[in-house]
Structure 1
Amino acid sequence: MTEDAKTAQTTLRVGVVGLGMIGGGVAVSLVRRGRIPIVYDVRPDASDGLDGVPQQVDTLAEVARESDVILVAVVTADQAREVLTGTEGLLSAARPGSTVVLLSTVSIETVRELAAVCAQHEVAFLDAGVTGGTEAANNGLTVMVGGPEQTVHQALPVLEDFAKQVVHCGDLGAGMVTKLARNALTYAVWAAVREAASIATAGGVSLDRLLQVLQNTDGGTSPLTLLQVHAAGIEIPEERIESADALAQKDLAAAQEFAGSVGLEVPITDVVRPRMRAVYSGELPDALPEDPRERGLAMMDRVYGTGYHELVPRNTTIPSIEHTVERLFAQVWARPYLTLRDRRLLTFGVTAMRDRGDLLRTQLSGAMANQEFTLDQLREIVLHLHYYTGWPAGSTVQGVFEELIARTAA
């Protein structure tokens, strides 16, 4: 690097928008490294009490005019949008060649949207998920960055001045995807811990006792350790998958039975139990294609079992088939918020109410191919539907379910 380039990076002027726990801490950390930021918050006194941070300026436009790199640390996507594109927002005054770094956790769609708007103003954009917020004022953040390598390189001196670690995760959106994956793991573990604590408490076991056991036995099963094993490509040998799943089924069934006896809900255990074989074998599905037809066909295989899409006529122009593939499966079954298992249960209920054994058979075949339910759960579904559909329709459900259960077991 030339001396001029080093000087340019050292003298980069930085703005910070949003002075909450993250943004305020970032501003303090920057000051500690000698890089005094231009700061702004909608709260006029937000910078008061932030050690060494100067008084905030009056407008976002002023931040933009005075900054080479602008760190945006607001809470929501709407706030980020307003900060950038509002009447007197950052882009109303940002200089071409400057860079916006979004520290907020938002959707990938929002990242792409905001990056496109910045590009229209010749302003570079980086998504930068952060973690370690309570240490933001002590240069304690881990920053997960997505964007072009050159842009990351140019902004790196600023990022390094407030972070303990900066990880360039890939192209635009990769930083936010990394943050979302990390958060999914955190929240899922949190929920699982709550569920485990509920089981222990319901059985009269103090959490101190559970902690004592875990502190001495779970060294190899922490989320970090398990992810390290997965990243290293270490898998359970194929010949051991059967026994590992059998052990999981036995243990989780016992947990379910106890929970049922005391009226305790254990939704994580209920969902995890039938999926353990797929987890052990690494057979969980990949991301769906973007093309509507290919996406729909791939989703059909997920719903009804591998190879089902081959039943769909090739190059068909029949509207009902096209809508089934490109809308029902590509747009409805593939939507977020409900799992495939959730949608299956809804479809079981509807088809049972209509006393449609043929449709039930199709749905149940898919569910069994995907190992979405245990035998106990399938028979529980039958019992539940008897009471809501009436005994005649319930008997149809039972006949279909027992027929396919027997066929699978044979």
Structure 2
Amino acid sequence: MKIGFIGLGVMGRPMAGHLIAAGHDVAINRVKPVSQFLVEQGAKAAESAQAAVTDAEVVILMLPDTPDVENILFGKDGIVDALRPGTLVIDMSSISPVATKEFAEKVKAKGCDYLDAPVSGGEVGAKNAALTIMVGGSEEAFARALPLFEKMGKNINRVGEVGDGQTAKVANQIIVGLTIQAVAEALLFAKKAGADPSKVREALMGGFAASRILEVHGDRMNKRTFDPGFRLRLHRKDLTLALDAARSLDLALPNTASTAQLMSAALAQGDGDKDHSGLIRTLETLSATS
């Protein structure tokens, strides 16, 4: 397929690389030294986002936040006017479910189709083509996109109609965020009580507390390796999406709110660009523990 891929961040770069390796004709823009390897692998470097999508059958967006997606689609020099009728737009960013439905309607008015397909799995999942992909949209559009999803992920599910993929991702981020906080509190407790947190983590991995987050993020906390991964500021953004949606639904999410507040404190102390496992540093600060 001819693909326009917009968004070459920590996860976008390996995702685009898998599509290139699979033989697809991929156009990218805003090529920086860190993404130059994609051109060397066969991607076409376009002068602008519009140029990257002009001849595309499929457009994939992998951007940080709702305003970024809106700007790329509909802002000055936005891509929507460069799309050919029949183009499939796949937004793999993690953004507002409400805004997603609005964006989809505008794109469909141009004679194109739309899927929201946010992902989970972080940089490791992106590099290993092992992402979980949560998709919202029509069955026909999903079937068209599935061969591409299978090059980037392993656990691929159509959740429902447009917007439902983003809803699933928000739910995912609630679970991940609260579990990271739980793991951080447990390991901090172990350390403060005089136990070796690495050995505590190893013991817990054999019991009912075992989880992927305890395995991966617990190890990062113990080893103090906080390079992203997935940035704290982006996870705080996702929990803000959850709380905004909860407010509109008159829904109480008290633990989500408290975790979001801790992440805001992490940003205030300059940790926004660290991996979200770095949340333990904020708890350490609150407990006067280094």
Give your verdict on TM over 0.5. yes
Alignment partner, residue 211 of structure 1: 201
In 2, Cα distance between equivalents of 1:213 and 1:24: 36
Structure 2: runs of 5+ lacking an equivalent = 213-245, 259-290
Alignment of 1:145-184 (within 5 A): 145-184=135-174
1:334 is aligned to 2:250: yes
Q: Note the alpha carbon deviations across 1:30-76, whole angstroms, 9 max, x for none.
A: 111111211123x5556312351424101222222211110001111
CA distance in 1, matches of 2:83, 2:36: 26
Letter in structure 2 aligned against 1:48: Q
Corresponding position of 1:36: 25
Give the Cα separation in 2 of the matches to 1:30 and 1:87: 28
Q: Which amino acid aligns with 2:65?
A: T
Give the secondary structure class of the aligned counterpart of 2:5.
Answer: strand
> Structure 1 pair 34/188, CA: closer, same or farther in 2 (3 Å)?
same
> 2: distance between equivalents of 1:97 and 1:173?
20
When you count strand as a share of all residues, which structure comes out higher?
Answer: 2
Deviation at 1:336, TM superposition (A): 6.2
Question: Could you tell me which of 73, 98, 115 is aligned with 1:84?
Answer: 73
Amino acid at match of 2:250: A
Q: Is 1:97 aligned to residue 97 of structure 2?
A: no
Q: Which has the larger radius of gyration?
A: 1
CA distance in 2, matches of 1:333, 1:48: 44
The residue type paired with residue 4 of structure 2 is G
1:16 aligns with 5
Q: 2:54 aligns with which of 58, 65, 75?
A: 65
**CA deviation digits over 1:120-162, x for unaligned, max 9?**
2122111111122324244332221111101111222222233
Compute the RMSD of aligned alpha carbons: 2.9
Higher percent of residues as helix: 1
* Distance change >3 Å, CA 153–CA 197, structure 1 → 2: same
The alpha carbon displacement at 1:164 in A equals 3.1
Over the matched positions of the two proteins, sequence identity in percent amounts to: 25
Distance in 1 separating the partners of 2:93 and 2:128: 19
Counterpart of 2:175 (choices 185, 189, 193) is 185
1:90-139 CA-to-partner distances (Å, cap 9, x unmatched) read 10110111111011111211211211221221221111111223242443
RCO comparison, higher one (Cα < 8 Å, 6+): 2
8 Å Cα contact 1:47/1:53 also seen in 2: no
Change (3 A) 1:338 1:183: closer
Give yes or no for the alignment of 1:110 onto 2:133.
no
Question: What is the total number of aligned residue pairs between the two structures?
Answer: 224
Q: Distance in 2 between matches of 1:82 and 1:207?
A: 45
Cα distance in 2, alignment partners of residues 65 and 142 from structure 1: 29
Aligned partner of residue 122 in structure 1, secondary structure: coil
Q: Secondary structure of 2:35's match?
A: coil
Residue equivalent to 2:280 = none
Q: Could you state the TM-score of these two structures normalised by the residue count of structure 1?
A: 0.49
Superposition TM-score, scaled by structure 2 size? 0.68
Match among 187, 200, 207 for residue 190 of structure 2: 200
For each residue in 1:205-246, what CA deviation from the matched residue of structure 2 results, as whole angstroms up to 9, or x when unmatched? 221442353244x1x44458xxxxxxxxxxxxxxxxxxxxxx
Aligned-partner Cα distance in 2 for 1:137–1:213 = 29
Distance 2:129 2:20 in 1: 10
- Retained in 1: the 8 A contact 2:3–2:58? yes
Question: Contact conserved, 2:138 with 2:162, CA < 8 A, in 1?
Answer: yes
Tell me, yes or no, if structure 1 residue 129 matches structure 2 residue 113: no
| CA distance, structure 2, for counterparts of residue 202 and residue 134 of structure 1 | 31
- Alpha-carbon separation, structure 2, partners of 1:203 and 1:331: 39
Show structure 1 runs of 4+ deviating over 4 A: 43-46, 330-333, 335-339
Structure 1, unaligned runs of 5 or more: 1-11, 225-329, 343-410
For residue 169 of structure 1, give the secondary structure of its aligned residue in structure 2.
strand
> Retained in 1: the 8 A contact 2:204–2:210?
no
Q: Any idea what SS the aligned residue of 1:49 has?
A: helix
